[in-house]
Structure 1
Amino acid sequence: MPNDTDRPTVLITGSSGFLGQAIAGGLKDRYHVIGLDVAAPKGSSDRLETIEIDLTSDDSVGWAVAEVGKRSGGRVASVIHLAAYYDTTGKDDPKYDAVNVQGTRRLLTALKGLETEQFIFSSTLLVHAPSPQKGVRINEDSPLEPAWAYPRSKAETEAVIAKEHGQINTVILRLAGVYDEDCRAAFIAQQIARIFERLPTAYLFTGDLAAGQPYLHKDDLVDAFVRSVDRRAELPAESVMLIGEEETLSYGEMQKRIGRLLHGEDWRTFVLPKGLAKTGSWMQTEVLDQESDIKPWMIENSDDHVEIDISRARNLIGWEPKHSLSRTLPEMIRRLKQDPTDWYEKNKLEPSVVAASEPEIEQAKRRLDAPLERSSSQVEAAVERQRLRTLWAPMVNVALGLWLVASPMTLGLFDPVVAAPPPALGHEIAAADIRNARLGISEIVSGLLVVVFALLGMYRRWTWAQWITAALGVWVMLAPLVFWTTSAAAYSIDTLAGLLIPVFAVMIPPTPGISRRALAADDDRPLGWSYSPSAFTQRIPIVALAFVGLFVSRYLAAYQMGHIDSLWDPFFGPGGASVRNGSEAVVTSWVSKGFPIADAGFGAFAYGLDILAGAIGDRRRWRTMPWMVLLFGLLIIPLGVVSVSFIIIQPPLIGALCTLCIVQAAVTVVLIPYSIDEVLAAVQYLWRATKAGEPFWRTFWMGGPALSENQSPEPDLDRPASEFIKEFLTSGVNFPWTLVTSVFLGAALMATPLIFGSSPPLYYSDHVVGCLVIMIAVTAMAEVARPVRFLNGALGAWVAASPFVLSGGGAVANFADAGLGLALIALSLPRGTRSEEHYGGWDRAIV
């Protein structure tokens, strides 16, 4: 092979791109190819030396061309100018002039300092007006009528080249849209993806279904450039050629072919009026604040039909396409169906959208049929080593069990006692000494059983006993409430012991009951997700908030059970109740007395379960312990609804408000958006694992193997606190100003008597709706739950209408309600901030 200095030099701008690399590959055997780009191509490249260039800078262009002169001996056979700015918005952008037009001018000016034979400019067919009618082909002399910013910049650049090229021969290749077997043509890829996903927009079109555009295979494009370089001495000083396939498939025909290849059906396509389509696009982008791949300029030009005459390319360079879109389309679809995520990545579409598609599930099934990352014997050995290292944990439970056995005597539970009925008691119960004695017996029996099952669970084959130990701990936590004990000490000790026993029974690794297949891989991100929703960075703050709820609830329960004489409430009065304040009035109301146990105590018990269910398991628990994740979700989400419901009924049914109850409800509502993503991941996994052939109930209770290809687990707690806090605040949850404002409007509705002077029944309506608005807005801050914000639109409509159907508002209150209602409707429409996180196919639901 000759040295580079012995071969003619070819420059390629935009050489690091897809087409630049392909053209360089077609020239490298006979030419010395030098690339010019803003950066060298990613990865190693043994065929292309690259000089960095910034086309918007005179100094950068001058330096780069001078460097070319040094490497080429001052002579350049051809310059292939591919570099250009492009976007699909259709809007004018200063970069079109700075890069495409003025950048080309700079490059031509600098090249005049070298002995440059030829300048080939990559233009576009879009500079032409469409065919005047179907069956009529356009050629190089047809009118130029670029319809939007990008082709306009190309037409302006062609004019600059004609004026500035001097002694350099020029070739302008007006290219059709480029594709290959992986597609890589943006508009075709989007069309295929819409049909593959069966999106509603896949059935709609805004123009003439019989209209179409020509396309060009990548290899044919390379051939045209190579031929243009090879025949540079034979070409005229100025040449313009149309490069594309003479076959033009209509949009309607493409729809039918893609539908048949993907789903075995002729795809039905309905034509929408342009006005309606533009309105829908405007609503999607401007009102709902969502991205759309259908831009206004596309709608406007959707009737354009183009057929081309490539006679000049045949005559001048002997070029004719060897491929056709119609023949390549089946291979495109085959590759999509073979590996959807890979196909989406190559076409710059979001692969997580199809991570759970049928082909991907089939791939996962094949992976599960093969040997897993670690064999069962390797997993078993690792679990056994871990078990032997943590045999101290059951011994701690033995100590806690013995502590429970001794507690009744220490706390005097069997001693005679006289106590007034608990303030929140609403039914007949046994005398105080009998209730305490029953709790004492429960503690002794529970303690002995904890000792027995903790010791049994130490044996390798009897690890199931650890779950019985944990269940006993849960009962110990609940027992003081069931027996309405008068002993505050017993309640405190049993709560603490009840929390600790499950920790040492099942939370210290290895957690019993997880299948060996589930532990065979370290993969911690669900299929198509960009993060692990079970990461400790996600769960520790949730557990911390649950502790706040626990402390508040225990304080309220202590008053309900008669352990303390009063409650603190800085804001609300007792209404008509004969107590000190609103908190005491609410927790001793007929609603609270209707529960068989202290309802605040039951709330504390639920928060305790939240803490346990939130802390157990590792980053993989969405697939190793699906049942626990779903239990965690069921504890948080319904508990939040109940807490808000309790706030809702306080003014209309109880006649008082409770500050601490509001704090408790706020904590619970905040937990919802931070837990809902993990529940979604577990549900997705169960559905996908079942489709991949895993037994549903075994997977539900014992977990299952990773469905994704091998991953590298991300760091969790071993990183700076700032990253920890940022991930908790932003992973899966964000705070669009529309939702934050909705929360404030909800609070304003709850305070309309103070702010606007409203009174019942209008105030009761405002209070109920305000509570619901806050809960919905906070829940919608979770991206996976973002669509629930639309419920606030319906609530806003009611608020706006309520002054006309309910009394209790003066002119100011009525006007305020109407304004607040309309504002809620408007705020519920935009989607708001969307992070870069992905949710395994759920992305499309985040509207």
Structure 2
Amino acid sequence: MGQLPRLVLTGAAGFLGRRVIDRLAGKWQIEAVDREPPVAGALVHRPEVRWHAVDLTESEAVTRLFDGLRESGGATALVHLAAHYDFTGERHPDYERTNVEGTRRLLDACEGLGLERFIFASSLAASQFPRAGRMLDESSPPDGDHIYAESKRAGEAMMRAEGRFPTAIIRFAALYSDWCEYAPLFSLLRTWLAGRWNSRILGGRGRSAVPYLHVRDAGVFVERLLDLRRELLPAEVLIASPNRVTSHADLFRAVTTYVRGTASRPICTPRAVATLGLHFLDLVGRASGNRPFERPWMGRMIDRRLEVDPHQSYRRLSWTPRPRLDIVRRIPFLIENQYSEPGTWAAHNEAALHSSELSPQVQILRLFEAHEEELFEAATRALVADPVNFPHYARVGAVEHDWNHRQFLRNLAQSVRTRHRGFFRTYCYDLARRRAQQGFPQDELRAALLSFERVFHYVLATDPRAAALEPHLNELVHRTIEFGMDGLEAGYEEAGEPPAQPA
């Protein structure tokens, strides 16, 4: 591990940061910096990754971290992903505190670290939409007129002015995954798939278009740039993007074709009408205390196209996006993930829409996700270590235990998310019939279910976020498992076993 080059990665627990770690672990020693590092899961247990809970707005914490890095040998490169971004259109103070002052603080802290390259994550959204017939390229100025663009413009200016070590700038396209995780795209899919009055409405002519890049391709881009870090020009701008944009009409066609077998005809609304509608819905939302994701400022973007020509970056890095990860080709995968695992889908996406007011269900689903591996391991230990009470489970192999626990948690999560306990009851009913056929007595399966509930509470008790959710955990988890017990008994009765006797 000591022979690996050292990389400092800010925003390491974020959407892109996690994928960068997946790409680079084993090739780099990663100092992963995030104000909220993960408390469990695969990212925590990688031997090449060391986590640091540091907020870039806190000078003392940043200084302490980088003093320690200098004393222990410095670093080869830094990738700065940490940034504030929201879709409210409002001037949140974190644009200045994190994106501007945090970047300046980070640059100063890197002095004497021995960096071969400081890589700054910017965005194509930092630039104005090009005029019709023109395209953005690596030479385009970051001249956008919104607060996020202003903060990225300031960051790029710092990279160009930096003289203590080499820098580089990545302008990313709109990043998404097979779970969506890009708020504007999630909002579109939610509207089109809901089957409501507005499920066929497109703003303007449906020509609003941006380039979409799958986050897995973005991770490869960062890896490639690091490989070529010594060959880059000072403060060189590189574009991580496909060479085409995808419009709302393109997406609508892909979604409706997959869902219905044929493309639905959209209802296009004049730009002025659509903009007026945004203002009206926002006023209604303000009055009700539940503002929609779509905000009036978005009216300026209707039918605008963020055309881009990234071919210079393709040549410089010998990199291009993979065709199979094109957004239109991935739409079926996004839809299937939403349909098959709605709880996980919601946990990945709802935070981006209403990050300050997460529902208890989504907060609990986040706990599920954060502690997933711990839950599986603890549940397996509880069954294997007690052959007296679990004689059949003690003989089950590790792979099957893992599969069983994943099914259990997936069905429990779906019931928590939807508050539809019937999902979990049906799962337990089917499980009981299967176990009865395999010779498992009802008491053993009942005890296993209760054991998992105890493990669940024991593991989550280690997370400070769980304390505030205790009433919701009782309502959403304990009562759901009670429904599961009823399904278990019904399944055994159907299999011909006498009803369980009260204890």
Tell whether the 8 Å contact from 2:166 to 2:234 is kept in structure 1 after alignment: yes
SS in 2 for 1:142: coil
Structure 1, unaligned runs of 5 or more? 382-518, 524-528, 537-617, 625-688, 690-702, 706-847
Match of 1:250 in 2: 247
Aligned-pair CA distance for 1:12: 0.4
Aligned-pair CA distance for 1:221: 0.8
Match of 2:316 in 1: 316
Tell whether the 8 Å contact from 2:129 to 2:305 is kept in structure 1 after alignment: yes
Q: Which residue of 130, 134, 138 corresponds with 1:140?
A: 138
Q: Which residue of 342, 345, 349 corresponds with 1:343?
A: 345
Provide the rounded CA distance (Å) in 2 between the counterparts of 1:368 and 1:35. 44
Asked which structure has the greater CA Rg, the reply is 1
Tell whether the 8 Å contact from 1:340 to 1:360 is kept in structure 2 after alignment: no
Tell whether the 8 Å contact from 2:142 to 2:152 is kept in structure 1 after alignment: no
Per-residue CA distance 1:385-407 (angstroms, 9 max, x = gap): xxxxxxxxxxxxxxxxxxxxxxx
Q: Which residue of 6, 15, 21 corresponds with 1:24?
A: 21
Aligned-pair CA distance for 1:228: 1.2
Aligned-pair CA distance for 1:177: 1.2
Match of 1:14 in 2: 11
Provide the rounded CA distance (Å) in 2 between the counterparts of 1:303 and 1:88. 18
Provide the rounded CA distance (Å) in 1 between the counterparts of 2:100 and 2:201. 36
Seq. identity, %? 24
Aligned-pair CA distance for 1:186: 2.0
Return closer, same or farther for 1:320/1:364 CA change in 2, 3 Å cut-off. farther
Provide the rounded CA distance (Å) in 2 between the counterparts of 1:85 and 1:39. 14
SS in 2 for 1:49: strand
Return closer, same or farther for 1:56/1:621 CA change in 2, 3 Å cut-off. closer
Tell whether the 8 Å contact from 2:160 to 2:234 is kept in structure 1 after alignment: no
Q: Is the counterpart of residue 119 in structure 1 residue 118 in structure 2?
A: yes
The amino acid of 1:59's aligned partner reads: E
Provide the rounded CA distance (Å) in 2 between the counterparts of 1:620 and 1:27. 44
SS in 2 for 1:11: strand
Provide the rounded CA distance (Å) in 2 between the counterparts of 1:25 and 1:619. 35
Tell whether the 8 Å contact from 1:207 to 1:299 is kept in structure 2 after alignment: no
Match of 1:156 in 2: 154
Residues 728-747 of structure 1: pairs in structure 2 closer than 5 A: none
Residues 479-558 of structure 1: pairs in structure 2 closer than 5 A: 532=475
Q: Is the counterpart of residue 210 in structure 1 residue 207 in structure 2?
A: yes
How well do the aligned residues superpose, as a CA RMSD in angstroms? 3.8
Return closer, same or farther for 1:271/1:363 CA change in 2, 3 Å cut-off. farther
Residues 205-604 of structure 1: pairs in structure 2 closer than 5 A: 205-272=202-269, 273-322=273-322, 323-348=325-350, 368-371=429-432, 532=475
Aligned-pair CA distance for 1:226: 1.1
Match of 1:88 in 2: 87
Aligned-pair CA distance for 1:622: 13
Match of 1:189 in 2: 186
Provide the rounded CA distance (Å) in 2 between the counterparts of 1:103 and 1:258. 40
TM-score computed with the length of structure 1 as normaliser: 0.43
Q: Is the counterpart of residue 64 in structure 1 residue 65 in structure 2?
A: yes
Return closer, same or farther for 1:380/1:161 CA change in 2, 3 Å cut-off. closer
Return closer, same or farther for 1:10/1:380 CA change in 2, 3 Å cut-off. closer
Asked which structure has the greater RCO (Cα within 8 Å, sep 6+), the reply is 2
SS in 2 for 1:200: coil
Tell whether the 8 Å contact from 1:105 to 1:161 is kept in structure 2 after alignment: no
Aligned-pair CA distance for 1:99: 0.6
SS in 2 for 1:209: coil
Aligned-pair CA distance for 1:37: 1.8
Provide the rounded CA distance (Å) in 1 between the counterparts of 2:37 and 2:155. 25
How many residues get paired?
Answer: 399
Return closer, same or farther for 1:373/1:216 CA change in 2, 3 Å cut-off. same
Provide the rounded CA distance (Å) in 2 between the counterparts of 1:116 and 1:522. 49
Tell whether the 8 Å contact from 1:52 to 1:64 is kept in structure 2 after alignment: no
Structure 2, unaligned runs of 5 or more? 352-358, 363-412, 445-449, 455-471, 492-503
Match of 2:376 in 1: none
SS in 2 for 1:347: helix
Per-residue CA distance 1:178-227 (angstroms, 9 max, x = gap): 12222222222222222232243433233340221101111211111111
**Per residue, is there more strand in 1 or in 2?**
2
Tell whether the 8 Å contact from 1:17 to 1:41 is kept in structure 2 after alignment: no
Provide the rounded CA distance (Å) in 1 between the counterparts of 2:428 and 2:482. 18
Aligned-pair CA distance for 1:251: 0.1
Aligned-pair CA distance for 1:166: 1.2
The amino acid of 1:346's aligned partner reads: H
Provide the rounded CA distance (Å) in 1 between the counterparts of 2:334 and 2:151. 31
Provide the rounded CA distance (Å) in 2 between the counterparts of 1:8 and 1:222. 18
Provide the rounded CA distance (Å) in 1 between the counterparts of 2:215 and 2:421. 28
Return closer, same or farther for 1:261/1:363 CA change in 2, 3 Å cut-off. farther
